[in-house]
Structure 1
Amino acid sequence: MSNQKKKLAIIGLGGQSRSELIPALLKLSDKCEIVAICDVNEEFVKLTQEVLPNHKNLVVYKDYKNLFSAVGENGFTLDGVILSVPHFLYSEIVELAIAKNIAVFKEKPFALNLTEANRLSTLALKENTQIYTVTKRQFYPSYAMGLQLLHDGAIGTPYMYSARHFIPHGNLYEGWRSSVQAAGGGAMIDMGYHLLDVIMRYFGDVSQTKLQWTNVGKPNYTYEVEDAASLITWHPVGVQGVFQVAVLSGPKEESIEIRGTKGRMLVTKADVTVFDNNGEEKDHFAFETDSIDAVVEAFEQFLQNDKSIWTQNISHNMKIMRLIDMAYEGRFQ
C-alpha cells in the first residue's frame, strides 16, 4: 500500500464490524476510505450504509467472489480488505485477496486449525502480501503495563499464573459456531484467543499442555464444541499456568494473576495491582480501556503495510495456533 489514502472493502457487516471496525476506520478517515462493502444480509448492509458518510458512493456486494472479480475492472481498485466473517470463510477469502495482491486485516482466529494456518502463512510470505490478525489486548494499557512490570522485575521471577475469562452470553451452542468443521473449536479458539495472545506475549512458547473441556452449559441443545475449558500449560522459561474459559457462565470476568519470587500481580482490562508476598498492596494502576481505540492502533499498523510488522504478526499468531493445536491434540481435525 502506498502513502496515498488507502481504499478498503469490508467483508462481513455483523455486530463486530458495525460496533468496532467501522468506527475505528472512521477515526482514520485521513488515511483510508471505505469504498465497498459486502454481506448477504440486506439489513446489515442497510445499517452499515447509514453510518458511513459516503454511503451513496459505496459499491455493495452480496458475494465476496464478485467483489474480487471486479477488482481491476472499470478503474475499481482495492488496497486492503477488512474481514469479520464466520471462521470457515476466512481461508477462501484470504486466498482470493492474496491472488489480487490485496492486504488482509482480519478478526481472530488466524485460521480454523494449524494445517490451514500453515498454508495461509506460507502463501502470504511467498506472495509478499500482508495478513494482519487483530488481537486487541496488546493495545490495552493495562495489559501493556503488566508486560512492562514483568520486564522490570516488579514481582521478581514469575513462576505461575492463573488466567480467567468468563461471559454469560456466548452463542457457541447454535449456528455455525456450534460446529467443529465451521468454527475450528469452541471457547478456547474463539473467546480464549484473547488471553492466549496475552499469555504468549508474557511468557513465550508453550512446550506442554493439558486441556479438559465440557459442552453441557446449554442442556437443551446439542453442539460439538466446548463451552467451558481448563488449559494447563508449561512454558520453557520456567512458568506454569492455568487458563479457564467459559462462555455460558457469568458474571463477566477477564483477568490474569501472576505469582513471582517477590510478589504477585493481578491484571484486568481496567487495572493492574501489585502485591508483595504477604498479600500487601504495593502499587495500583487504573486505566480507561476503549476497544475502538485499540482497533485504531491495530489499523494504524496495518495501513503502514510494513513487512517487519505484518510478518511478526503472522509469526505471533502462528504461535497461538500451535498452542491451540497442542491443546486440542488433533481431536478436532
Structure 2
Amino acid sequence: MTEQFALTDEKLDELFVKQVGSVTQIVERLPRNSVIMSTCARWFKIFQHATPEEKFARNCMLLLLHKQLNDQNTLSYPFTDARSCHRDLRTLHQMSIALHHTRESVDDDDDCNSFCSMEYSSPISIHSSGISCREDVLQRLANANKLLAEQNATMSGELQVLQLEKESLLQRRQSFHAKAETLRNQNNMYGKEIGYMKHIFACSALTALKLFVEPTFAQPIHYFVTLFSVLCEDQHDRAHFEQLDKQLGRILHAHMDYYTRLSIQYQVGRAYDEMRAKVSKRYKKVLQMQEATRIEELSLVAMRDLMMLRKLFLDSYKGDKHAERAVLKFLQERHDELAEGL
C-alpha cells in the first residue's frame, strides 16, 4: 500500500506541473500586478532548477505560494524576501513550517488566555487547566526555538562551505591570471624568436624555392641543404639534410608518377567510352533499320493476306448483304491502317 502511493520523482514532477497551471490561472484572474507576476516568474524559475532532493520541498513551497495567492490575492514572506531566493528549498520549507507553528502557538496562547480568563471569572474555574494550557504553549515555543536553532546551525554550516568555496575560486582565479600572464610573456618571447628565425631563413628560403621553378627533377634536389645552409655547422649536418632531400625527391617522383598514371588511365578510359558510344550508336541505327524493314515486310504480307481473304469471302459468301458489307468494310479498314503505317 505504501509503495502504491510513494511520491517518486516522476509523481512529484507531475504534481508540480499541475500546480503551476493552477497558480497561473489564479494570477490571470487577479488584477494586473507587475510585482506579483515578476515574483511568480522568479520563483517558477527557482522551482524548475530544483535538485531531486529538493523536489518535495519545492512542491510544498509551491502549495504555500498557491495558498497565499488564493487567500490573500497577494504574496508575502518568504516569497517577498530577497534572501529567500538564495536559500536551499528544503531549508526554506523548514523555516516556513517553523514560522507556521510559531504563529499557531501565539494564537493558541491567546485562546488559552481567553479560556483561562473565562475560567477565573466563572464560579467553577479550574486552576490546573490554565496551567496545563500554558505549559503546552511553552513547550511548542521551545520546540519552535529548537527547530530555528537547528536551521540556524545548518545555514551557518552552509555559509562556511560557501565561503570556503569562494576562497577556493578566488585562488583559482588568481592562479589563472598568473598563468595567463606567463603565457602572454612566452608568446611575446616566441614572437621575437620567430621573427629572428624568419630573418635568418629569408635569403636561403628564396634560393631554395627557385629550385622548383624547373619543370622536371632531372637533377638531384638540394632544397633542404639550401634552406638550412645557415644551420649546417659540419659535414654531418649537411649529410642529414642531403638525406632529407633524397627522401623528398622520392616522394615528389612518386607523386608525379601517380598522377601521370591517373591521367593516362583517364585518357584511355575516355577514348574507350567514346569508341564504344560510336559503335553502339552505329549498330543501334542498323538494328532500327532492320526492324523497320521487317515491320514493312510483315505489313505487306498482312495486306496481301487481307486482299486474298476479301476475294475468298466474295467468292464464297452468299448470305445477308448487310453482313457482307460490314465484313468488307472491316477488311478494308485493316488494309488501310497497314498501308498508312508504311
TM-score normalised according to structure 1 size = 0.18
Higher helix share: 2
TM-score normalised according to structure 2 size = 0.18
Point out the structure with max Rg over C-alpha. 2
